[in-house]
Amino acid sequence: MDPVRIGHVGYLNAWPLVEGLGKLADVALKPATPAELVGLLTSRAVDVALVSTADLVRAPEPLAVLGSGMIGSHGPILTVKLFSEVPIESIETVHADTESHTSVALCRLLVAERSGSVPRVEPFRADGSDWPASVLMIGDKVITRPPPIGRYEHVYDLGEAWSSLTQLPMAYAVWACLESRADEACVQSASAILDRQRRHNATRLPMVAARHAADHGWPADLAQVYYTQHVRYNLDDAASAGLDEFLARCAQAGVLPEGHPVRWDNGGTRPASAALDH
């Protein structure tokens, strides 16, 4: 039997989901940026992938969310930040790291919530030589290659901003498969493997941090704090509600399309555009 192919992001934050899987003969790991993973999934290059939640409604084919874990937060996330010369309500254009479709959508939504209009986005790759008026950065580089100290008067942690707005967790990425393949044996096997490994790694986060921090340029003690106090990995009911709320608000603001109904691993569907009661 061929190994199940699992696409995951190559950032420090993904290791509590996949640490140890590389030793399994029946698993093949394929790292990529968040924005690339949905393409690997729809091209059948992987069987399951850690898909940006924005891509649940942007993908060319319907996806199914597996309940095996996520990358999320409830409060500050540390690695999704908006740096700006002006307050968020005055931002008209954001120069954005486009490796994560979810982070770009979240940034546009949060600016629109404060300013009343969705900002334009210009692709941006931080190389240390030029820092535009407003910059969205994600991933390890927020810690390892941030803007110069004092360059920006206003800094917004978007995980913190989302939870302050909604009182809900934010789900940036979830394990997903093509809806048409949700009942295949390899997908069901992958879902069980991923759930088991997430639960196991939750009991040894200090070890995971110590093993991978240096490779990503993080201090080991900060990596451990990040894993234990900032990132959430369990796609529980609160996180699912946060995901629904994010997609609903994005659809209402015109940041994301209403898209496909989101199928969950129990076989049911939850409308991506259905707002929750407040």
pLDDT over 50 at 273, yes or no: no
Q: Strand locations in 168-226, DSSP E?
A: 170-178
Domain ranges of the chain: 4-72+170-270, 80-166
Q: How confident is the model at residue 278 (pLDDT cuts 50, 70, 90)?
A: very low
* CA 15/CA 8 separation, integer angstroms: 9
CATH fold of the domain at 4-72+170-270? D-Maltodextrin-Binding Protein; domain 2 (3.40.190)
* Average pLDDT estimate for 232-236: 96
Which of the listed CATH numbers 3.20.20.140, 3.40.1370.10, 3.40.190.10, 3.40.50.300 matches domain 80-166? 3.40.190.10
pLDDT in tens, 74-123: 999 999 999 999 999 999 999 998 788 999 999 999 999 999 999 999 99
Q: Are 255 and 178 in contact (CB under 8 A)?
A: no
Give the dihedral sign, CA 236/241/243/244. Answer: positive
* CA 70/CA 179 separation, integer angstroms: 18
**For residue 34, what are the CA distances in angstroms to 65, 114, 268?**
16, 27, 25
Q: How confident is the model at residue 1 (pLDDT cuts 50, 70, 90)?
A: low
* CA 75/CA 243 separation, integer angstroms: 15
Taking Cα atoms as reference points, which of 202, 9, 207 lies closest to residue 100? 9
Same fold, 4-72+170-270 and 80-166: yes
pLDDT in tens, 31-77: 998 889 999 999 999 999 999 999 999 999 999 999 999 999 999 99
pLDDT over 80 at 223, yes or no: yes
Q: How confident is the model at residue 274 (pLDDT cuts 50, 70, 90)?
A: very low
Q: What is the structure's pLDDT at 267? A: 42
